[in-house]
C-alpha cells in the first residue's frame, strides 16, 4: 500500500493547527503531520497572546485538542528550528515543511528614548501577563499613576484593559501569578491610549470596545473634544459601530468610586520622544491633524507638542515577522514571500498564518488561509509520492527528533502539563494556573525534577 506524505508543520499556534487539519482532511494524496513547537506547550497565541480575560476566545483550544486527536497528527514540543533541527535537516526528513511561525517581534516606534527601562513592547507585556516562559522576567513598572499605550489596534486595547481592570476580576482567569501580584500592587489610575490618527481610522473591533462598558469603576474618556463628531456618510459599518460604541462609553456618568480608573483615548497624537533619567518619566507627543494622501486619511503634525508624565509606555504598534534562516524574506513587509502559500525560491516549503500574510485578522482567518496553502502543497506534491515509502518512517522520524532533543515533549507530556495546570486552577476557581518556567513545564511533562527557581527571573 502507498505510504502517505509526511509533512512537518513548524509552530503549533492557530495557523499550524489549521494547516495540520487541512492536511489530514485531504483525500488524495494522504498526509501525516508532525507539528513541531519550540515551547513545551501548544496553541501559540491562544495560550500566550489572547488576553486572559477573554476565556471565550481561548476556548478555541478545545478545537485544537480535537484536531490533535485525529489519526495521523503528532505534536512534539520543546524542539526549536535553528537550534535543535535545521531547515536542511527537515527537508531531508520530511516531504514538505510548512512554516507557521507567526510574527515573533514588535514593530518599532523609532523615537529617541524607546530603549529606556519602562518603555516596553506589547509583545513582551502580553507574554508577561500570559505566562509565556520567555517573558516572565519582563519588568512592567506600575509605580506611576499613569501608563501610556501607543497604538489603536486590538492589542493596544487588550493591554489597556488589563491595566485598568480591577485585579479582583482577573483572579478568576489564567493570568500568570507573577502578573496578578504586580497588578494587585499597581499604582496606575489612568491609561492613555494614543492614536496617531482618529477613532474612525482605528483598527479596534466593536465587540472589544463595547466590553469596556462592563469594566467595574472604569471611566472612558475620549479626547480631544469633538473627535467623535464624524459624519456617518461614507464610513464603513464597522467604523460606524465603533464610533457609536465610543460615544456610548464617553457619555456615561463618571464613577463616584474614589478608586475609579480612567481609560483615555487620545487621538491625533504621536509619541516623538520618550524622556527620563535612567527610566521612563514622560512622553513628548506631537499633535497631528488629518490630511488627505491619495484618498487615504493620514496624520500630519501641526507643530504643537504636549507632554505626558508616566512611568510606563507600551508600544502596541503592530507585530513583525523575523526571517527563517535560508528562506527569502521581505524585510519591509516582515513576511516570507510566497505564491498561494508556496515559498518563492523555497524547496517543498510553504507558509501559513501571520508569517504569510502579516499580523492581521482573527484566529478563524487562519482556516481559509491554511486551506489555500495546503491546496497548493498537495497539488505540488500529489504526483511525487513520499520521499521515504517505508512503513517504519514515523517511528524513525520520532527517534531522529529525540536524538536532536532528548527532552522532546509529546502529546502525553502536554496532557500531563495541562492536567496539572487545570487541577491547580480548579482549586482556585480558575481555568488553569500556568507553569511559567520552561524547567517546570518540562518537569511536569516528564517527571524530570526542575532546576531550582532563579529568584531573579
Ligand atoms: P493593528 O491592528 O495593525 O494596529 C496597530 C496600530 O498601531 C494601528 O493603530 C497603527 O496606526 C498604529 N501604529 C503603527 N505604527 C505606528 C507608529 N509609528 N506610531 C503610532 N502608531 C502606530 O495591530 P495589533 O493591534 O497589533 O493587532 C494585530 C492583529 O491581532 C489584528 O488583526 C487584531 O485585530 C488581532 N487581535 C485581535 C484581538 C481580538 O479579536 N480580541 C485581540 C488582539 C489582537 P495606523 O492605523 O495609523 O497605521
Q: In a structure prediction context, what are the per-residue pLDDT tens digits for the chain, which is 457 residues long?
A: 578 999 999 999 999 999 999 999 998 889 999 999 999 999 999 999 999 999 999 999 999 999 999 899 999 999 999 999 999 999 999 999 999 999 999 999 999 999 999 999 999 999 999 999 999 999 999 999 999 999 999 999 999 999 999 999 999 999 999 999 999 999 999 999 999 999 999 999 999 999 999 999 999 999 999 999 988 888 999 999 999 999 999 999 999 988 899 999 999 999 999 999 999 999 999 999 999 999 899 999 999 999 999 999 999 999 999 999 999 999 999 999 999 999 999 989 999 999 999 999 999 999 999 999 999 999 999 888 899 999 999 999 999 999 999 999 999 999 999 999 999 999 999 999 999 999 999 999 985 444 554 444 3
Closest CA to 315 of 141, 156, 428, 188: 156
Regarding beta strands 31-36 and 73-76, do their DSSP bridges make them parallel or antiparallel, or are they unpaired? parallel
Query: For residue 449, what pLDDT is reported?
Result: 47
Report the separation in Å between the CA atom of 317 and the middle of ligand 1, taken as the mean of its atom positions: 5
Report the separation in Å between the CA atom of 402 and the middle of ligand 1, taken as the mean of its atom positions: 39
Locate 109 and state its grid cell: 516606534
- The residue whose CA is least distant from atom 23 of ligand 1 is 318
Query: For residue 385, what pLDDT is reported?
Result: 86
Closest CA to 350 of 106, 94, 105: 94
- The residue whose CA is least distant from atom 39 of ligand 1 is 154
317 within ligand 1 shell (Cβ under 6 A): yes
Cα–Cα separations (whole angstroms), residue 439 to 19, 126, 256, 454: 29, 21, 47, 11
Query: For residue 156, what pLDDT is reported?
Result: 98
Instruction: Tell me the domains of the chain and their CATH numbers.
Output: 5-104+321-444 (3.40.50.720), 107-317 (3.50.50.60)
405 within ligand 1 shell (Cβ under 6 A): no
Report the separation in Å between the CA atom of 153 and the middle of ligand 1, taken as the mean of its atom positions: 3
Query: For residue 2, what pLDDT is reported?
Result: 77
Cβ(18)–Cβ(11) below 8 Å: no
Closest CA to 249 of 216, 215, 213: 213
Which atom of ligand 1 is nearest to 317's Cα?
7
208 within ligand 1 shell (Cβ under 6 A): yes
Report the separation in Å between the CA atom of 318 and the middle of ligand 1, taken as the mean of its atom positions: 5
109 within ligand 1 shell (Cβ under 6 A): yes
Query: For residue 455, what pLDDT is reported?
Result: 40
Which atom of ligand 1 is nearest to 151's Cα?
7
Query: For residue 233, what pLDDT is reported?
Result: 86
- The residue whose CA is least distant from atom 1 of ligand 1 is 153
Query: For residue 447, what pLDDT is reported?
Result: 58
Closest CA to 35 of 82, 72, 89: 72
205 within ligand 1 shell (Cβ under 6 A): yes
Regarding beta strands 190-194 and 269-275, do their DSSP bridges make them parallel or antiparallel, or are they unpaired? unpaired
Classify residue 204 as left (phi > 0), alpha (psi -120 to 50) or beta: beta
Query: Taking the mean position of all CA atoms in its chain, how far away is CA 136?
Result: 15
pTM score, whole prediction:
0.95
Distance CA 404, CA 92 (A): 14
Which atom of ligand 1 is nearest to 155's Cα?
25
Cα–Cα separations (whole angstroms), residue 449 to 131, 140, 281, 432, 446: 20, 30, 43, 21, 9
Amino acid at each position: 500500500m502507498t505510504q502517505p506524505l509526511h509533512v512537518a508543520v513548524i509552530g503549533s499556534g492557530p495557523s499550524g493547527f489549521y494547516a495540520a487539519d487541512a492536511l489530514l482532511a485531504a483525500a488524495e494524496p494522504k498526509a501525516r503531520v508532525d507539528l513541531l513547537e519550540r515551547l513545551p506547550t501548544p496553541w501559540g497565541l491562544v495560550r500566550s497572546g489572547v488576553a486572559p480575560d477573554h476565556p471565550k476566545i481561548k476556548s478555541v483550544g478545545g478545537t485544537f485538542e480535537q484536531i490533535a486527536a485525529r489519526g495521523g497528527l503528532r505534536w512534539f514540543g520543546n524542539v526549536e528550528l535553528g537550534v535543535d533541527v535545521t531547515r536542511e535537516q527537515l527537508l531531508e526528513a520530511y516531504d514538505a515543511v510548512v512554516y507557521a511561525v507567526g510574527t515573533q517581534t514588535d514593530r518599532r516606534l523609532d523615537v529617541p528614548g524607546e530603549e529606556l527601562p519602562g518603555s516596553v513592547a506589547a509583545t513582551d507585556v502580553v507574554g508577561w501577563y500570559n505566562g509565556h516562559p520567555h517573558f516572565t522576567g519582563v519588568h512592567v513598572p506600575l509605580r506611576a499613576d499613569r501608563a501610556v499605550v501607543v497604538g489603536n489596534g486590538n492589542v493596544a486595547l487588550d493591554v489597556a484593559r488589563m491595566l485598568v481592570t480591577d485585579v479582583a476580576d482577573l483572579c478568576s482567569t489564567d493570568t500568570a501569578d507573577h502578573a496578578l501580584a504586580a497588578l494587585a500592587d499597581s499604582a496606575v489610575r489612568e491609561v492613555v491610549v494614543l492614536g496617531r490618527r482618529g477613532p474612525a481610522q482605528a483598527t479596534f473591533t466593536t465587540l472589544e470596545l463595547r466590553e469596556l462598558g462592563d469594566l467595574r469603576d472604569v471611566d472612558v474618556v475620549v479626547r480631544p473634544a469633538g473627535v467623535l463628531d464624524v459624519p456617518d456618510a461614507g464610513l464603513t459599518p464597522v467604523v460606524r459601530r465603533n464610533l457609536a460604541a465610543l460615544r456610548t462609553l464617553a457619555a456615561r456618568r463618571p464613577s463616584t468610586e474614589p478608586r475609579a480608573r480612567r481609560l483615555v483615548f487620545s487621538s491625533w497624537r504621536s509619541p516623538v520622544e520618550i524622556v527620563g533619567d535612567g527610566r521612563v518619566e514622560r512622553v513628548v507627543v506631537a499633535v497631528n491633524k488629518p490630511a488627505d494622501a491619495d484618498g487615504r486619511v493620514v496624520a500630519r503634525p501641526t507643530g504643537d507638542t504636549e507632554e505626558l508624565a508616566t512611568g510606563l509606555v507600551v508600544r502596541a504598534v503592530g507585530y513583525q515577522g523575523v526571517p527563517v534562516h535560508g528562506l527569502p524574506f521581505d524585510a519591509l513587509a516582515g513576511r516570507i514571500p510566497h505564491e498561494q502559500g508556496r515559498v518563492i525560491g523555497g524547496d517543498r516549503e510553504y507558509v501559513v498564518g501571520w508569517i504569510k500574510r502579516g499580523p492581521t485578522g482573527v484566529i478563524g482567518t487562519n482556516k481559509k488561509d491554511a486551506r489555500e496553502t495546503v491546496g497548493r502543497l498537495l497539488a505540488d506534491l500529489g504526483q511525487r509520492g513520499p520521499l521515504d515509502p517505508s512503513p517504519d518512517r514515523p517511528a524513525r522520524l520520532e527517534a531522529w527528533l529525540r536524538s536532536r532533543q532528548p527532552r522532546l515533549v509529546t502529546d502525553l507530556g502536554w496532557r500531563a502539563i495541562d492536567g496539572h495546570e487545570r487541577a491547580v486552577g480548579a482549586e482556585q476557581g480558575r481555568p488553569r494556573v500556568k507553569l511559567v518556567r520552561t524547567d517546570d513545564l518540562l518537569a511536569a511533562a516528564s517527571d524530570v525534577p526542575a532546576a531550582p527557581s532563579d529568584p531573579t527571573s
